[in-house]
Chains A and B, each alone.
Chain A
Amino acid sequence: MTRRVAVIGVGNSKFGRRDDVSVQELAWESIKEALNDSGVSQSDIGLVVVGSTAYRGIELYPAPIVAEYSGLTGKVPLRVEAMCATGLAAALSAYTAVASGLVDMAMAVGVDKMTEVDTSTSLAIGGRGGNYQWEYHFYGTTFPTYYALYATRHMAVYGTTEEQMALVSVKAHKYGAMNPKAHFQKPVTVEEVLKSRVISWPIKLLDSCPISDGSATAIFASEEKVKELKIDSPVWITGIGYANDYAYVARRGEWVGFKATQLAARQAYNMAKVTPNDIEVATVHDAFTIAEIMGYEDLGFTEKGKGGKFIEEGQSEKGGKVGVNLFGGLKAKGHPLGATGLSMIYEITKQLRDEADKLQQPLKKYIGLVHNVGGTGHFAYVMVLRR
């Protein structure tokens, strides 16, 4: 029998190009905020999991360095990696340690300093986010290409348009402009998105998330610990799901959604005993605009093929059926790979505590969801959170 687990503290560094800090200083920004937020100190934590993809930063083995700088030495036996879903992979490890009774409190720290290499190196590393031997080596795939393959087929099968995809970017930038921690704080128009440089058709520059530096941290505690510490606003993890899919993208057999997301969502909904209709606020992995449209469908917010309509009708806006990516999403808030999933937990925790200020989604049931994809559907994690 597993124990109930709550998020009791969250932190999120400023995302963006962060030449001003090292990876360990960047990690400390969110660790410090999460410790202050929860009211616990380093010595209270039984296990720390560092999530970092690391390959784009000078520190290829960042866990001990982050631990040393943050006063966590002794508690950090591992780093985890699941490409863009590294943050929730770290969260799963920390959650599991608490749920199993191994520790009473665990911390997941996500950090990546991606701008220490140039864009061309970054693209080459990202393009290997599949099956190098049978894809990149012969065909020169880039990370946007993988998502573009999904976008092209979604357009052909369901009539999804480039304008509908552009709306995802417009929404992200609108909210990002209201979030001081976001990488971009500038609204964009549909026309600007459509006219932006083509990266891998049909994906254009303004359909794509930026290459960002950032960190985010969440602290997890058992129910007993929450009571003992008299935490007044615990956010409970009531459902958690995970899955993966073939590395060689052609082998997946359909390219209009992520099977990994569908499986992870079903598992999380079943565990939380909720349906997609219960979700009022969510983060949906929007590395590229088509990803958010497919996310609406794969998470069950709308039927398969209707994701384009869903954004067009404003159903994912603040005050809509389900407020999606109200902090700016990966598109505008930024996507420092290791930090992203934990940054999503940060956002939904703030929302469920009614602490999101101007970006607050009106809530009745106080049920939120986080969805983090690794690679192009290579990994998917879904968590259901409740106040």
Chain B
Amino acid sequence: MQVDAIPLSIKYKINYPDEFIEAVKRGEIVATRCKNCGSVYFPPQKDCYNCGKNEMEWIKVSNEGEIMTYSIVSQKPQGFENYKDYIIGIVRTKDGINLMAWIKGQPKVGGKVRLTTDDTRIIGEVV
């Protein structure tokens, strides 16, 4: 016989760098660059695994990009049930950073986008 087991509710708290969140609110995307060896990190990291130093500076990422690939999400996961179908894309910026974004407009592999944010996440608007 099947019975209901005791439910497990898990709540997590996680941290993001203030610099990243503030940039997103301004409509900008930022990455970190190692002051010692120049390695650039996106997702941003505090520690440079290339040279082992931890002195980073925040740099602005270009807002011009190209859609490398995308998918239209119909079956949405927890936390996103109330959204209309959304398009997740991978965008390569003019300065060579590859990042995930929601795509607005008609997507095409190789199509150009202008990167901005919606206060929360990175958005690639098809141009």
Contact = CB atoms under 8 A, between A and B. Distances in A.
A245 to B, nearest CB: 13
Interface stretch (A143-151, A213-221, A302-310, A351-359): A143-151
A134 B43 contact: yes
Contacts of B73: 140-142, 145, 200
B88 A139 contact: yes
Contact of A135 (B42, B70, B74, B100): B100
A123 B71 contact: no
A58 B5 CA distance: 8
B121 interface: yes
Contacts, number: 108
Contact of A200 (B74, B79, B120, B121): B74
A120 B70 contact: no
A198 B79 contact: no
Interface in B73-127: 73-81, 83, 86, 88, 90-91, 98-102, 109-110, 120-122
B109 A251 contact: no
Contacts of B69: 149-150, 152-153, 156, 255
Interface of B: 2, 5, 14, 16, 42-43, 68-81, 83, 86, 88, 90-91, 98-102, 109-110, 120-122
Interface in A112-146: 116, 120-121, 123-124, 126-127, 131-142, 144-145
27 contacts: A19-B2, A126-B77, A132-B14, A133-B14, A133-B43, A139-B86, A139-B101, A139-B121, A140-B80, A141-B73, A142-B75, A148-B71, A149-B70, A149-B88, A150-B69, A153-B69, A156-B69, A156-B109, A197-B74, A199-B74, A201-B71, A201-B74, A248-B43, A250-B68, A250-B99, A250-B100, A253-B98
A94 interface: no
Interface hub of B71, B86, B109 (most chain A Cβ within 10 A): B71
A72 interface: no
B87 to A, nearest CB: 9
Contacts of B91: 250
A163 B74 CA distance: 20
A203 interface: yes
B43 A140 contact: no
Contacts of B81: 120
B76 A142 contact: yes
A127 B77 contact: yes
B88 to A, nearest CB: 5
A123 B90 contact: no
A203 B71 contact: yes
Given A140-B76, A150-B69, 14 more contacts: A116-B5, A120-B77, A121-B78, A123-B77, A134-B43, A140-B83, A142-B75, A142-B77, A144-B71, A153-B69, A197-B74, A200-B74, A248-B43, A250-B99
A336 interface: no
A261 B78 CA distance: 30
Nearest to A153: B69
A201 B72 contact: yes
B97 to A, nearest CB: 9
Interface string A190-210: 000000011111110000000
B5, B80, B88, B109 — most chain A CB neighbours (10 Å): B88
A123 B100 contact: no
A153 B79 contact: no
A249 interface: yes
A312 B26 CA distance: 50
Contact of A124 (B79, B100, B122): B79
- Sort A-B residue pairs by CB-CB distance and give the 5 closest, nearest first: A148-B71, A140-B80, A156-B109, A153-B69, A124-B78
Nearest to A149: B69
Contacts of B16: 133
Given A133-B14, A133-B43, A255-B69, A249 B100 contact: yes
B71 A152 contact: yes
Interface string A7-19: 0000000000001
A19 B76 CA distance: 26
